[in-house]
Amino acid sequence: MEDQDPAVGSPSGNAPRSSESAVTAGRAQSSRTLSVAPGGLGRNRMRVVGRLLGSLLLGGAAVIGSVLVFRQGLLPLIDAAFQLGPERLSAFRRAGILISAMAGYWAYVHWHEKRKANELRLRPAYLMLGGVGGAASVALPIASLFALGAYEKVLFRGISPALFGVAVLIGIAAVLEELVYRCLLFRLLERAWGTSVALAAQALIFAVGHLENVDQGRTGDVAAMLISVTLLGLLWAGLFVLSRNLWVVAAHHAAWNFTILLSGVPLSGIEDWRALAPLESRYAAPDWLTGGMFGPESSLLVIVSTTIAVAFLLRTAWRRGTFLVPA
């Protein structure tokens, strides 16, 4: 768990204070507000926004800058010195991008926020639970869609050795997305404006970032994608609020994506890997049920199941007192 600031957290494990304590705090706040100079509240809000933007820019620069230093500086030098060859160079590049991004984030937290990056702590048992949960969360509705006849199996190809490389790519992509969207964006928004606002804001930004996956889609495809990916942003942020751990959320995210790939249907609008899936599948129902060009994530059945999961996670997080309020 990330260390909580006593000014913004609820260390007792209960939901944020209400009723009598809130009334007492409100009266005290009202008495203090009388002494605030005109425009003081507005200037304070501007300072909060300024600090937020500055932290986001600095954190983003640390992560992206570290990756660029590796790709444009270290990687060419290493390749020239050791002549790694195409396959080894590709594997080294992927691993290096992941490690450099993590190092950049750690450096930002260590030197700018001056705290331990507890969210990067590896917890194998929780990581495994996150992976199992991610696979099950999407496997159940996909299995239901096969049972309903919305998806039809064309043939079974078997397991391709190339799937291992795809799994690594999906895992790295999931870690990087969670590092940027949940560890950096969500956490800084939460520190500035509280958990509730941060949940909504980062989920919308996360969804907009996937618009290019349906750039050839119709209005209905875009609308369904925005709804489904916004819910996924809430799902993974809710899991982060509960665990305060990058690896738990990344494992859930990666297992979710890989399970969709294995079923032989589009993964977030990406068709590239369908030929490697053990199953070759096709749609046999309307887009609102199958998910259309974006795949099962935009299926009404998956949207409903994800909504239920989000409600459960956020309710649990609220009851455990892991919601933060702005300082």
Q: Which residues pair with 42 in a beta bridge?
A: none
Flag whether pLDDT at 314 surpasses 90: yes
Q: Which residues contact 185 (CB under 8 A, 6 or more apart)?
A: 56, 202, 205
pLDDT of residue 8: 38
Confidence of residue 69 (pLDDT cuts 50, 70, 90): very high
- Return the bridge partners of 270, or none: 267
The pLDDT tens digits for 293-310 are 999 999 999 999 999 999
Flag whether pLDDT at 4 surpasses 80.
Answer: no
Q: How many residues does the chain have?
A: 327
Give, in degrees to the nearest 5, the angle at Cα 194 between 183 and 242: 55
Q: What is the pLDDT of residue 5?
A: 42
Residue 218: band (very low, low, confident or very high) from pLDDT cuts 50, 70, 90:
very high
pLDDT at 35 over 70: no
Q: What is the pLDDT of residues 237-271, one digit of tens each?
A: 999 999 999 999 999 999 999 999 999 999 999 99
Tokens representing 239 are 């899991």
Higher pLDDT, 32 or 15: 15
| Tens-digit pLDDT profile for residues 37-65 | 556 677 888 888 999 999 999 999 999 99
**pLDDT of 39:** 65
pTM of the model: 0.86
- Of 305 and 272, more confident: 305
Q: What average pLDDT score do residues 190-217 get? A: 95
pLDDT (mean) for 190-215 = 95
Instruction: Compare 18 and 216 and report the one with higher pLDDT.
Output: 216
- What per-residue confidence (pLDDT) applies to 217? 86
How far is 94 from 121, CA to CA, in rounded Å? 21
Q: Report the mean per-residue pLDDT for the chain.
A: 88
The tens digit of pLDDT for each residue in 132-176 reads 999 999 999 999 999 999 999 999 998 989 999 999 999 999 999
